Amino acid sequence: MEHLINSNVRDIEISGIRKFFNLVAKYDDVLSLTIGQPDFPTPTHVKEAGKAAIDMNKTVYTPNAGIPELRKAASDFVKKKYNMEYNPDSEVIVSIGASQGIDIAFRTILEPGTEVILPGPVYPGYEPIIKLCGATPVHIDTRETAFQLTAELIEKNITGKTRCIILPYPSNPTGAALPETELRKIADLLQDKDIFILSDEIYSELVFEGKHQSIAILPGMREKTIVINGVSKSHSMTGWRIGLVFGPEYVMKQMLKVHQYNVSCASSVSQYAALQALTAGINDAEEMKVQYQERMNYVYGRLVDMGLEVVKPNGAFYLFPSIQKYNIKSFDFALKLVEEAGVAVVPGSAFSELGEGYVRLSYAYDMQTLEKAMDRMERFLKNL
């Protein structure tokens, strides 16, 4: 009866990141720089808040949108950090990680036949959901613009079917961030257009130079923009699965319906831990960010010394060097790197066809691991 399975589901591929991660698991003595997960433990005070929630029997269903205290804390957090204003009662939803937030956003605004513009290379989690909605992803080549989706590139690709534009910055896999000047150009372009913006800002607390700015605060953009955020990257809480969705009331009340029938609510215990993270731990990411920047500078310098072309990132915890000069497919390069040098990276092809010719390295690992990995990689490239 396999032929009866939804064809949109059958056509979806398992994430190239996970596929390669699983592939290299069978090799011994491999230094893996594959998974985009903070190597820091969840802050102690946040873990204690989660434990206290269990001890106080806060283990029941919560309101669909999340506990009021957390929605208020989330609203206060983005107001203080990014000057964004959202009504916690009607414009904030607590999702099960940022991924589920993206899912309910797309399922609310997309219809069969519509198009979604997104940069390439790009995180592979958007395209499958777009296709499940019957919509079409339109990847825009950003390799010549330092991996930034510019207003000029967007304008060339807008059609009568364009329903949404994704701004995933700081970026996975490139670490690129959009400067305010470009955000303003994009805002000016979209002022008079009935097109949604999905602004994935999950790495907003990990911007190295300057401060993160959301397009949602620019004139005319709030009513068009759905903002995705969460505590996974900022507070090293990936397994707690708490995402935050912000948007104008007219779209959020529709999104809440999808969320309600999708999951009912996020984990109650995780919500109380996230409440602690966004209040007492409002600046927890600062110390992590300092170490990420130190690691980034080290790995970036090593890659440049190896003769690799790489755009210096301004956020997240990834580097995306080009391997085009070796004239080898990114999957083959990555597999060879594992087999001959014991270093695992992610093939660029995992991030759309526009990622071919690159590999992604995560530097969310301790310096000792990074130093060993770079030494092995340098020896590998000399013999390639």
- Contact in structure between 171 and 282 (CB atoms under 8 Å): no
- Contact in structure between 49 and 273 (CB atoms under 8 Å): yes
- Contact in structure between 213 and 183 (CB atoms under 8 Å): yes
Q: Tell me what pLDDT residue 13 has.
A: 76
- Mean pLDDT calculated for residue range 197-211: 97
* Percentage above 70 pLDDT, the chain: 100
Residue 293, pLDDT above cutoff 90: yes
Domains of the chain: 2-42+284-383 (3.90.1150.10), 62-278 (3.40.640.10)
Residue 130, pLDDT above cutoff 80: yes
Residue 19, pLDDT above cutoff 90: no
Band (pLDDT 50/70/90 cuts) for residue 2 is confident
- Mean pLDDT calculated for residue range 180-201: 98
Q: In the sheet that 359-362 helps form, which strands lie side by side, from edge to edge?
A: 318-319, 359-362, 346-347
Q: Tell me what pLDDT residue 10 has.
A: 83
Q: Tell me what pLDDT residue 235 has.
A: 98
How many CA atoms lie within 13 Å of 164's alpha carbon, on the beta-carbon side? 30
Cβ-based burial of 322 (10 A; exposed 0-12, middle 13-18, buried ≥19):
middle
